[in-house]
Structure 1
């Protein structure tokens, strides 16, 4: 009887030990080794990002010669902007002062006003000037001159359309696709490639130090707008690259007696035909192509025509842009060069006009980078740019718009990523991805605070950083590491492996139950 009891004890101990090893150690170890590593993320906070509006503070100063008129304008403008979901506009009245009567030019008056009331980035100033032909005259700085009879409605219209560009902000923030296609957020870096195409260098002796022209015109301009993106400028000459388009000869009264017409409808095909020959090197940055095409005298001068057979030449230059690809300029050879060719004379060497082509190229960059404001307002005139830098108010509007677009894009990217990670539980979230997502969220919140606190430069930097981090997190290669091993595949692999092992475990449970039941009966007897 004593041996039988010892046998029971050993069998029970062995059964329990087997169960403990398999269930207590084996199963947790299997569970731990097959668990996907996922860093903790502020998922709920990210999902609430769309509930927190993006609101921007702007300060608008108004100077009038009569205090009562300034107060009336400000009261009416505050009413007009009171219900805005986007803008928190602070209107500030600048009172008349004694020295104002002594100045004779608007520039001198503006200088005195800015000495007494310095501006911050993103601010704007309206200055009343009685001797003004237009209702409003936009300068190249953060100011506009206004006539004595201008209304608050016209000022509000100018603010919404050109200074604040409310309609474009609404396009960025709206989820309604009917508002039109939205442009992409500015990338952190671009390659600007200036290409000069000379298809027949033996017949067209065109000379041009394009690298020096880029250093003189393009690089200083891009340096002025480097707060949003960094730019690398490269130049290149391409020979024997001709455009593939049907050109039509047109008679005219020039000494050559003809020119050639390039139809506007052919322009997209033209870009396709030369695009493959422009890549100088492989880069992961977006490329902005600026092409200067020198047509040979056999097809020069070459001009662009629209569908109504109207010549589209402006200021003696034929050019067009194709966002976001780039711009195209036709640099026709001078007439005397082609006359020499027509008379079978030796080729004449000449120099490409740097100023004309670079001015067109700068205008193309304004449009390609979405800096320039093309909206026209009746009674409002804008001063022409006379320097390489863009208009200050125009660029700061671009900064503000880019910051809002970066915040909105980063928020949408994070929300899409969190939704994806919640739906697919077996995607790995390592420390690098987790840090990118968390840092992006923190910067988004900080950028929103900076906008409402009237810190446009800080908001722009934070928004850009948030955008870069969100893109880095979304496109990280580690997120794809286990997409080919979903839970169903894991079960298909592990069940055949563990099922044979679990059969003895279940048998041991059954044996233990029987042993305990037998001992209970013995005790009862």
Structure 2
């Protein structure tokens, strides 16, 4: 074929190649590009090395309070601090001058009068000598009185300073518990602590969540023997609701109840011939949870559920008692399952010769007090261990102001650690899956979470506990919403190596003819340019 006849063919091949390269590839690249909104990656990376400093303001007042006393107490508190660099506590002490309030006031009324301090702040007040409040405290045989608000009273400030410092650091602030909570969830502190009794005990509490579902269950093992009823609604209104109202700012709670028939614990109790009683040993208790949990059912709720169960055994296994590790009967005849709930065994009175089912009403008022103690442990409100010579005033609702502050502080630290870990995990996932879509709402959520974490840490450093906690709730909700978004699922996207299996069948049939044509044109052009030289 003459070269003049091949000219149109060469021209068409070059045009096709040019269109393929200049127009086709950019259009394909643009139409298959994945939209990835920019995230604050640098700010999220700094969360790994984030430092948290919580400032506690301690106000001192009383007749013998001086700057020397305040400095000594500050040194004692700081010396007690054993936290890691990632989480530390600073004590800011100041002396406040109060009018003579305790001249003719009881300790309770004085405690209520001084209850206006902000959340997280602590007041230490020395009582005037021979005042009514001082004489009342002396009559208890103690020299330190911890109120139900945020005030510590003492009859001798100088002599009791070491114990007051221990009371502040170990009970009111609970530094060691903060350290364990933060280290368990933090992305910046991976130090492993030895497995101590305190560490194991801290695992009883559930993780911080915006809300919880409280389920009260009455298990009637055999209705032919006992027809069991209860007035749970009255007990909830009288005892539980006042307790939950105090926790409104921390979490929300929903309550449900049910009565289940023909359900046992799934474990055969052992018989004590001498006492003619039945018992469940400490080793038997974990085996009862699986059986009971499988029969309780679930309620429609997005919040984690905490189960509280009252079990009424049949007459053939009554009376039934629960034994502790030492083999002694538990006074409440109840036991707690960490992060799950609690079970109370109620033994109704029986009478010989009864042929028909006996109607039994469970005393829910006394049982509810056991459930509230279980709930406090599940929420992280451990029973306080008071220093020697300290008297504790309880609150009518079952939870004091300083316990609320401690719970709020712990939840705040946990929220910050969990939110930071969620954001870091999200960035790792996005770095791993390069073709994962990052929508605009994911960008907004992550930016909100990072900003809230920064502001929360700043508020903690300023000692503003309530503001810091509210910001921590925004941070964890935004971070977890972004992390668990349906579009943030790795299985929705093809791995990089599988893209070749998708695009090769599309581009090879088109690309090979174009490349062969371009190669033929190039060869002819070389031959044509080589003839004049020869």
TM range (shorter): 0.7 to 0.9
The whole-number CA distance in structure 2 between the counterparts of 1:198 and 1:239 is 5
Secondary structure of 2:428's aligned partner: helix
Corresponding residue of 1:90: 92
Secondary structure of 1:178's aligned partner: coil
Corresponding residue of 1:268: 286
- Gap regions ≥5 residues in structure 1: none
Which of 355, 370, 381 is 2:380 aligned to?
Answer: 370
Corresponding residue of 1:360: 370
TM-score between both structures, scaled by the size of structure 2: 0.85
Secondary structure of 1:265's aligned partner: coil
Q: Is the 8 A contact 2:220 2:227 kept in 1?
A: no
Q: Quick check: 1:418 aligned with 2:433?
A: no
Q: Measured at CA, do residues 26 and 141 of structure 1 come closer, stay the same or move farther in structure 2, by a change above 3 Å?
A: same
RMSD over aligned Cα atoms: 2.9
Q: Quick check: 1:452 aligned with 2:461?
A: yes
Q: Quick check: 1:287 aligned with 2:299?
A: no
Secondary structure of 1:366's aligned partner: helix
Q: Is the 8 A contact 1:427 1:482 kept in 2?
A: no
Q: Is the 8 A contact 2:61 2:125 kept in 1?
A: yes
Could you list the per-position Cα deviations for residues 88-146 of structure 1 after superposition, in whole angstroms to 9, with x for gaps in the alignment? 3221212353x3463242234445555xxx41111111122344332432221112222
Moved more, 294-303 or 52-61: 294-303
Corresponding residue of 1:57: 55
The whole-number CA distance in structure 2 between the counterparts of 1:101 and 1:457 is 30
The whole-number CA distance in structure 1 between the counterparts of 2:299 and 2:207 is 24
Corresponding residue of 2:296: 278
Q: Is the 8 A contact 2:333 2:345 kept in 1?
A: yes
Could you list the per-position Cα deviations for residues 359-380 of structure 1 after superposition, in whole angstroms to 9, with x for gaps in the alignment? 1111111111112344453333
Q: Is the 8 A contact 1:138 1:381 kept in 2?
A: yes
Moved more, 272-281 or 130-139: 130-139
The whole-number CA distance in structure 1 between the counterparts of 2:479 and 2:375 is 27
The whole-number CA distance in structure 1 between the counterparts of 2:300 and 2:221 is 23
Q: Measured at CA, do residues 329 and 274 of structure 1 come closer, stay the same or move farther in structure 2, by a change above 3 Å?
A: same
Cα displacement (A) at 1:243: 1.8
The whole-number CA distance in structure 1 between the counterparts of 2:5 and 2:78 is 90
Cα displacement (A) at 1:492: 2.1
Q: Quick check: 1:476 aligned with 2:498?
A: no
Which of 320, 327, 330 is 2:335 aligned to?
Answer: 320
Q: Quick check: 1:441 aligned with 2:450?
A: yes
Cα displacement (A) at 1:235: 0.8
Q: Measured at CA, do residues 514 and 344 of structure 1 come closer, stay the same or move farther in structure 2, by a change above 3 Å?
A: closer
Cα displacement (A) at 1:163: 0.8
Cα displacement (A) at 1:484: 5.1
Q: Measured at CA, do residues 347 and 493 of structure 1 come closer, stay the same or move farther in structure 2, by a change above 3 Å?
A: closer
Corresponding residue of 1:197: 219
Q: Measured at CA, do residues 222 and 100 of structure 1 come closer, stay the same or move farther in structure 2, by a change above 3 Å?
A: closer
Q: Measured at CA, do residues 44 and 323 of structure 1 come closer, stay the same or move farther in structure 2, by a change above 3 Å?
A: same
- Gap regions ≥5 residues in structure 2: 128-133, 184-189
The whole-number CA distance in structure 2 between the counterparts of 1:397 and 1:308 is 32
Secondary structure of 1:236's aligned partner: strand
Secondary structure of 1:261's aligned partner: strand
Corresponding residue of 2:131: none
Q: Is the 8 A contact 2:312 2:346 kept in 1?
A: yes
The whole-number CA distance in structure 1 between the counterparts of 2:235 and 2:107 is 34
Moved more, 231-240 or 272-281: 272-281
TM-score between both structures, scaled by the size of structure 1: 0.87
Matched residues, number: 503
Q: Is the 8 A contact 2:415 2:473 kept in 1?
A: yes
The whole-number CA distance in structure 1 between the counterparts of 2:390 and 2:93 is 21
The whole-number CA distance in structure 2 between the counterparts of 1:482 and 1:427 is 10
